Structure formats: C-alpha cells, structure tokens
Amino acid sequence: MNKQDGRRAVVVTGARTPFVKAFGDFTTMDTIALGVAASRGALARAGLGVRDVDAVVWGGVILPSGSPNVGREIALDLGLDPRAEAMTVTRACASGLQAITLAAAAIERGEADVVLCGGSDSTSNAEIKLPQKVVHALAPLALGKPTTADYLGVLSQLWPITDLLPRQPKIAERSTGEVMGQAAERMATRNEISRAAQDAFALRSHQRAAAAIASGRFDDELVEVTTPEGKVVRVDGLVRGDTTLEKLGRLRAAFAKEGTLTAGNSSALTDGGAAVVLMSEAKARALGLRPKAAFRSWAYVGVDPADQLLMGPALAMPLALERAGLSLADIDLVDLHEAFAAQVLSVLKMLASDAFAQARLGRAAAVGAVADERLNVHGGSLALGHPFGATGARMVTTMANELARSGKKTALLGICAAGGLGAAAVLEAVD
Amino acid sequence: MTDLLVDLGRNATARRLIGALGLPLPLPTALRRGRGPMPALCLADQSVVVGAAGAGGLVPMLAETLAAAGARPLLAGWSMDAFVGPGEAYGRPPRAAESLAEGQRVDALVFDASGLDGSDALAALHGFFQPWVGRVARSGRVLLLGRPADDPALTSGAAAAQSSLDGFVKSLAKELGRHGVTANLLRVEPGAEGRAGAVVRWLLTNRSAFVSGQALRVSLAAAGEASAAVVRPLEKRVALVTGAAQGIGAATARALAAEGAHVLCLDRPQEEAAATALARELGGTAVAADLSDPASIAAVVAAVAALGGVDVVVHNAGVTRDRTMARMKREHWDAVLAVNLRAVLALDAALDPLLREGGRVVCLSSIAGIAGNVGQTAYAASKAALIGWVRARARELGARGVAVNAVAPGFIETRMTAAVPVAIREAGRRLSALGQGGLPEDVAATITFLAGPAGLGVTGQTLRVCGGAFLGA
C-alpha cells in the first residue's frame, strides 16, 4: 500500500476483555456483550466518540442464531451513529484476523476511514441444538395449523427417544467428524512431537503470559468488565504462572487413550472479546493519533481437513512473507496462535524443514527456524485462552503494541483454523 | 450377481462351521473396493512395509510416493534415510517394521527388487517376504518392483534374477489370493522412475482389488511430463466409450465421469434408451451407432468432432458368437470380427486426427484372447489381435504422448457371464487366485487408471483384470 497517499490502514489501538474460562465469570454475557465491552475500551483509548466510526467488521465462530450479525448488534449496543454500517464474518479461529484484514482492505480501497474491528466468542453461550430430525418432525406443528393427525404423525416420527436428546455441541469437523483435539493428536504422532515437548511449550506459554501480566505489559490492552452480577473482572483467568512440568506431566491424555495431548497443553474453551481500531494513516495523523502498526501483507490458505487439519499456518506464513517481500530472517517477532502445543510445534517443524519446503512450497530451502526469543513473546492461547473470534484481534493488538514499544520493525502472525484453514499476516511498525 | 461363497465367507460363523466340518470349500475373501473418485490421500493411514535389495534404486521414488499418498512406511531391514525427507514433508515419518505390535496386520508389502543381480541375491526375497506375508491384512497388497529383465544393460546374472520375479510374484499371488491379497510386479525402465510413482500408488489402492499376479512395465515410450494430478484428473477431458449402455461399458463410463470426464456413451441404436439415460446421468453425450456397420464410423467421428476432439477412447463394444470351429458359419465369424476387431481399427484410424496430444486409448481384450477357449476361435482371435494392435499403436502414437493399452478381463459378473451354465460359471470364478469373479467396476477402475495421467508410463501393454485367473497365466 502506498504510504504517500495516506490511505494505508494503520492500527491505532486495541483492547480486549480479560479472557475467562467458559462457564466462569462471563457465563451470562453473550458474544455481543463481550464485543461491546472490548469495543468500548478500544474506542475510549482512541478518544473516539459515537459519530467517529464509519463501519464495524466483527468476527465470530459461535454466532447466536437469532442475531448472527453480531457486528451490527455491537454497533447498536455501543450507541454508534446508526449510519455506521456493520458486518460479521466467520472463518473459524481466524475470524478475528479476517475481520481486521477486511477492515484494512476497506480502508485502503477508500471505503472508510475509521473501522472498529475484532471478534468475540462466548463458548458458555453455545446454543444446544435439537437434532434435525426433531426440527423436521415438529415443523407441521410450528409452521402450520396442525390437526390431530399431524400431532400423531409427529409422535410416530419422534421414536426412538434417544434421537430426541439434544446433542452436546462439540468442535468437530463437519467433513470428517473428527474433534479438533483428535486431529491435533494425530499431528503430534505424525510430526513426532513428544508429550514432554508439548508440556514444555505449554509451560513456556504460561510463564511468558504470567511475566507479561506481572510487568503490566497487558494493562493498556485489557479493559475491566463488570458482569451483570456486578462482579468486576480485571485479569485473565486461565494463566497459571506457577505451573510446572511435573504438574503438567500428571495430567491425563484428553483425546486418545495413549495420547500426548492434555488439558494442559491444549487451549481451553474461553469467553472473551477483543477489538481493534483501524484507521487510514492520514485520518490517524489528522486526529493526532500515533499509528502503532500497518499491515504489510496477509494470506489465507486451505488444506485437506482429513490430512493435517491445523497445519495451515505452515503454508500461510510463507505466503504472507512472500507477499510482503520479506524472509523469515527479516521478521523480529512471530506470534503463532497456540490452539495446541502439538500444532504449534508441528508448524514450527514444517517451517524449519527443507523437505517440507521442497515438497509443499516448491522452494529449495526451508522457510526457517523461528528463534525462541522471537516467538510468542508474551505467551499465547495455551495460557491466555482462546475465545475463537477474539484471538486474531488479541494477537494484532499485542503485536502492534510490541512493535510500538520495542522499536522493532516487523511481526509475523499465524493462525490455524477449523476446516483446514490457515491465516497469516505481516505487521510492520509505523514511524 | 450374488456369489454364495463370497457371501458365506463374509459370515464368521459360516466360516467356522465350514472349517469345523472340514468341507473342501475354498471360501473367497470379500474384496475391499474403493468407490467414487480417487481421493487425494488414496493410501491414507495405510501401513506399508517396505524392503529393498542391493542398491534399492527405486526406494527414493517409493518413499516420496507413499508419504504423499498418506501411507505410513514401515521399514524392514532397510535404511530410513530416503524416507526422512518425505516423512517430514507429509508428516509420515518412517518407523522400523519391527516396532509393529505383535499380531498387528499391515495393509501392504512393497519390495524393491531392482537391485537383485544374481542367484545368491534372491535370498533377499525370502528374507523380506517370509516373515511378513502372513501379516498382510485381508484384501491387502503385495507389490514387487524390478527392472525389465530384457534390459541389455543387465548382466546375465541380473537378468536371471530379474526374470525370477515373474514366477515368484505369480506364486505369491496364488498363495495369498484366498485372503483377498493381491500380488503384482512393476518393472521400471531406467530413467522412467518419475512415472512409476503414480502406478505404484494405483496398484496399492483399493481400486486394483481384482488385479493380481500381473506384471506391468513403466517406460518412457509415450512422450510427456509426469503429472501430479490425483484428484479428478479427467476434468476437461472428453472420453468415448463404446458399448457403454451395459455392464463393463456402463461401469467404465461412470468411473470416467466420476473423475471428471465428459463421456460420449456409444452403443447400438437398439440400446439408445439405456445409453441416453446413462449419458444424462453422467452429464455426457449419447451416440447411437452400430459398429458392425462400417458406415457408422462417420457418425461417431461427427459426434467427437462436435466436442472438439477426444482425449480417451475405450474400445469396449464386443460380441460373441461362440461355436466350435467345425460348426462356425462364416457369418458368425464375420460378426465377431467386425465388431471386436475391424471396428476398433477403423475407429482408431478415423479418430486419429481428433485424438488430442496426451490422449489414451484402451482396448478391451480378454483372457480368452490369451488362453483360448473351446468355441471361441473367432472371439479369441479378435481379442488376441487387440494385444498386438495396442503394442503397435503404442509405438506409432508414443511421440504424441498417447498411451495405448489393453485390459484383459477374466471372469467378470455381468449379464453375459450370468447366462453361462452353472458349472462353467463356477469354474470361471473359482479357478483363480482370488477364487471369485470380478465386478464391472474392477475393470472400469483399471481402464480409468490407464486413461488418466497415471497411465503415462504404461503403454503398449495388456493388463489382466482377472483375480489371478489360472487360465493362460
């Protein structure tokens, strides 16, 4: 994007709610309420009022069926000028990043100057669905003027009774029926990622997140949330800075009998929201705001979900780098979404492999080994939690802040997502 | 078509009972067959034990092929080196075969015998197969890789060793057939390794379930680049299938369409309703033409020209007029040769200008053409003629990247064979390694393989789809 014309999209600020384990303090807050809380914080930090936002682009995975355009509901609940249009996008765990890159594209095309974007999810408010058989059977009663025969017909269709029980919602692939943890478990086996390596990575995530919290590093990202019950939530609820390899090692395998994935080295079901304020660079300057980062590139890819479901970042990150005209060596910070330690370590292994680069990327040499000191410097989803739609916006916020504070130049983001999708983006510092 | 013995064999109680009673009933194993288009990961999660002799020159090709197709390589007494890279690239790291748990079965055995160079070296065959043959799962695969024994570069000792593979693999096919396990041999000409992977892959899939005891050769005879396309390789291709209304022809039309081809379903005017229905189902085009009439060729050419040319021609139409020679009238003889041979030659000549570069021609031969049969002098002559025809046409068309092959079905459960007297039918089914008849889908899958990019390295050959039939083997 041309820096001269001022249309480059820049990150002005970002804010997020604390991330809280599902069925915890945020149980009675739905994804809209979480989005509102995060957005209110972001707008306040940017000093924006209700008439300053041109559009809202929101990402979410578990969308409420009665109001799936969460972005519009957030705009209305925030009291934004009704003329601020809004949309909601879903791309599984990459939804938050998707919302932000769509907002950046809109700004850079000149469609808007100020966009509120981000994502949220409330796993506590996943809707428990009636089996489709019941829905179809009940249709004559719900939609028509039922006769006695209709009622009897419905009764006969609703047998056996076990078909009627509501199904537990689970994160299973529609195409393969595989639960995500099982897919990650297979990736651990196939990429030879040991339990010990996974636990060590999880420990690192918790330690780094805890250090970031202790240092106050997240203070300007977090917004206080007062729950409907009147409780004030100020801190992330899942980070365990005092965990140890011994404690992690005692946990039982969660997805396979002899498996290596546990609750400790997998990200937890989480409630939370994260928002980013994106502006055209000219607008930000005019408002006297200091842009923190701009998008140099982004990339989305797909792989066969039946193969290695969560390997997407290993393809998306090289593509984003290529589009940015950079190599991994040029990158100062790497932020890789931690769905599972096994998935992160698999992706890192692929990035470092010459054989992978030759066979899967058509390149002579590996993308490169990610230096430990550059990777997930403030922890990741394993420690902080993973409210699906919010994660991308959390990562953009943390990396933009890190670039602005540290004087570093570039950050590479990578996110894996259900459906065999992968997402990546390159952020660069703005002088 | 039901086969009582295969059905009984599916039933564990019946199997035990027959065993306990000591009945001399060879219960064939119900074969695992793939349906629908070939998936990208056609060997997903299959455990394949790999071994090699001597230099193991085909091992790198094997390592890449197996990992890319999703197989789990288990190495028996062979270096892991070649498998590490592909393992990393596709997340299929090699393991030592010995690490397999006691009693755990494997889906396939693959042995690179290309390095066998003398009589003593043959001990490697025993060394690899003896411990493993008993552990292949039902309907599993055994595949040997070798070099052409007629390669003048081979020493006489190496030629003998490479020649030994024919007898070895045919015997193995007969021994393992009752478990539904197939055994085949692939000879790879030096320099053609890049084309071998696609053939290896197909021979290991559930699409080759009824091909056993066969030897194929991969060569550079047809010009062209090896293609990596596995999924829907026939998209944007036009395929002509003669005799498409019923049986093997209909199954072939379906299989080609499933891989993306626009299929011209050709059959006699009497079969027009069936051919039209099939063409509609497949989104193809029906062509009514009586191939016994030379004048019909023009109509076929016009139909092909209307589609702008053709990529795949399957000469499936055939007739029988079985009579012993003494009783065969000239009209019977002529009827058989007109459709089975003359029409094929005439159609190929007429379609030649419309056959696109990289095309494929597949003729339906028969094991009758290889082994001969009482009452089938005319039929067998026509079917044997096609074996020579494809060999010669392969030479003529190789420079254009066209591969020309024949498939020779053995006993296939069709309307035609259902009409055969019971005793002969039973003999047809049981006198084979797999002890059962094949399905039209088995032949269709083989034709589809030869019709696609995977068939590039295979040309001028006749591949039997016969379940390891003893006739003419």
- pLDDT tens per residue across span A68-117: 999 999 999 999 999 999 999 999 999 999 999 999 999 999 999 999 99
Helix (H) or strand (E) holding B86: helix B81-90
Q: Please give the average per-residue pLDDT across B408-423, as a whole number.
A: 88
Question: What backbone torsions phi and psi does residue B196 show, to the nearest 5 degrees?
Answer: -80, -30
Pairing of strands A114-122, B238-242: unpaired
Does B1 have pLDDT greater than 60?
no
| B92 neighbourhood in chain A, CB within 8 Å | 190
Mean pLDDT of B318-329: 94
pLDDT band of A371, cuts 50, 70, 90:
very high
Q: Is residue A246 exposed (0-12), middle (13-18) or buried (19+ Cβ within 10 Å)? A: exposed
Question: What's the average model confidence in pLDDT over A414-430?
Answer: 97
Nearest C-alpha of chain A: how many angstroms from B91?
5
Average pLDDT over residues B7-22: 72
- Do A424 and A299 touch, CB atoms closer than 8 A? yes
- Find the residue in A nearest to B82 (Cα): A355
**What percentage of chain A exceeds 70 in pLDDT?**
94
CA–CA separation, B237 and B256 (whole Å): 10
From B397, B412, B383, B408, select the one nearest B456 (Cα to Cα). B397
Cite the beta strand spans of A181-269 per DSSP E.
225-226, 232-233
Please determine, for residue A166, whether its predicted confidence score (pLDDT) is greater than 70. Answer: no
What letter represents residue B273's amino acid?
A: A
| Percent of residues, chain A, with pLDDT higher than 90 | 85
Chain A residues within 8 A of B44 when measuring between CB atoms: 306-307
Alpha-carbon distances, residue A128 vs A64, A169, B45 (angstroms): 11, 6, 34
Compute the distance between CA of residue B472 and CA of residue B470 in angstroms, rounded to an integer: 6
Is any Cβ of chain A less than 8 angstroms from the Cβ of B305?
no
Lowest mean pLDDT among A11-25, A130-144, B409-423: A130-144
**How far apart, in whole angstroms, are the C-alpha atoms of residue A7 and residue A327?**
25
Q: How far apart are the C-alpha atoms of A110 and A167, rounded to whole Å? A: 45
Residue A67's identity, in one-letter code, is S
* Nearest residue in B to A186, CA atom: B91
**A353 CA to chain B: closest CA distance, Å?**
7
Interface test mutation site (partner B, options A182, A185, A186, A192, max chain B beta carbons within 10 A): A192
Token readout for A163 is 């078909």
| Per-residue pLDDT tens over the stretch B200-254 | 999 999 999 999 999 999 999 999 998 878 899 999 999 999 999 999 999 999 9
Residue B79: its pLDDT value, please? 87
A306 and chain B in contact, CB less than 8 A = yes
Tally of CA atoms within 13 A in the half-sphere of B13 that contains its CB: 0
* pLDDT at residue A161, as a whole number: 62
**Calpha distance B114→B78 (Å, rounded):** 14
Domains parsed from chain B with CATH numbers? 31-218 (3.40.50.720), 238-465 (3.40.50.720)
Alpha-carbon distance A425 to A296, whole Å? 8
pLDDT of residue B23: 65
Contact B54, B116 (CB under 8 A): yes
Q: Is the pLDDT of residue A4 over 70?
A: no
- pLDDT at position B253 is 98
Report CB contact under 8 Å: B91, A359: no
| Active-site position among B379, B389, B411, B449 | B379
pLDDT at B10: 75
Parallel, antiparallel or unpaired: strands A114-122 and A55-59: parallel
Q: Is the pLDDT of residue B2 over 90?
A: no
Write down the residue that tokens 């290695």 correspond to: A308
d(CA B407, CA B441): 13
Place A148 in a pLDDT band, splitting at 50, 70 and 90.
confident
Question: How close, in Å, is residue A355 to chain B by CA atoms?
Answer: 5
Residue range(s) in chain A whose domain bears CATH number 3.40.47.10? 9-126+267-429
pLDDT at B14 over 80: no
What tokens appear for B317 in the block? 């139409």
CB of A354 within 8 Å of a chain B CB? The answer is yes
Supply φ then ψ for residue A84, to 5 degrees. Answer: -70, 110
pLDDT of residue A351: 98
pLDDT at A248 over 90: yes
Instruction: Please give the DSSP secondary-structure letter assigned to residue B452.
Output: S
Q: What is the distance between the alpha carbons of residues B78 and B113, in angstroms, rounded to a whole number?
A: 12
Pick the CATH number of A9-126+267-429 from 3.40.47.10, 3.30.930.10, 1.20.1070.10, 1.25.60.10: 3.40.47.10
What average pLDDT does the structure give for chain B? 94
- Kindly state the tokens that stand for B352: 């030649």
The answer on pLDDT for A158 being more than 70 is: no
Specify which residues B145 forms β-bridges with. B112, B186
CA gap B369, A98 in Å, rounded: 63
- CB-based contact B166:B153 (threshold 8 Å): no
Question: What pLDDT band is residue A167 in, cutting at 50, 70 and 90?
Answer: low
Which pLDDT band, with edges at 50, 70 and 90, does B24 fall under? Answer: low
Band the pLDDT of B285: cuts 50, 70, 90. very high
Q: Which of A78-87, A233-242, A339-348, B75-84 has the lowest mean pLDDT?
A: B75-84
Residues 78-107 of B with CB under 8 A from A: 84-93
pLDDT of B321 over the 90 cut: yes
Residue A300 has pLDDT above 80, yes or no: yes
Q: How far is it, in rounded angstroms, from Cα A258 to Cα B260?
A: 42
Q: What is the pLDDT of residue B423?
A: 86
Q: Judge whether A386 counts as a catalytic residue.
A: yes
* pLDDT band at residue B8 using 50, 70 and 90 as cut-offs: confident
Q: What percent of chain B has pLDDT over 90?
A: 86
Q: Is the pLDDT at A330 greater than 80, yes or no?
A: yes
- Specify which of A123-132, A159-168, B342-351 reaches the highest per-range mean pLDDT: B342-351
Q: Do A353 and B68 touch (CB under 8 A)?
A: no
pLDDT for residue A7 is more than 60 = yes
Peptide bond into A160 cis (omega under 30): yes
Q: What is the pLDDT of residue B146?
A: 98
Query: Measured between CA atoms, how close is B71 to chain A, in angstroms?
Result: 11
Render pLDDT for B355-409 as a digit per residue (tens, 0 to 9): 999 999 999 999 999 999 899 999 999 999 999 999 999 999 999 999 999 999 9
**Which residue among A307, A349, A355 sits closest to B41, beta carbon to beta carbon?**
A307
CA distance A122 to A33: 9
Sequence-separated (6 or more) residues with CB below 8 Å from residue B159: B149, B150, B151
Nearest partner of B434 among B455, B413, B418, B416, judged by Cα: B413
Which of B44, B90, B92 is closest, CB to CB, to A306?
B44
Residue of B nearest to A190 (CA): B91
Query: Which residue of chain A is at minimal alpha-carbon distance from B94?
Result: A190
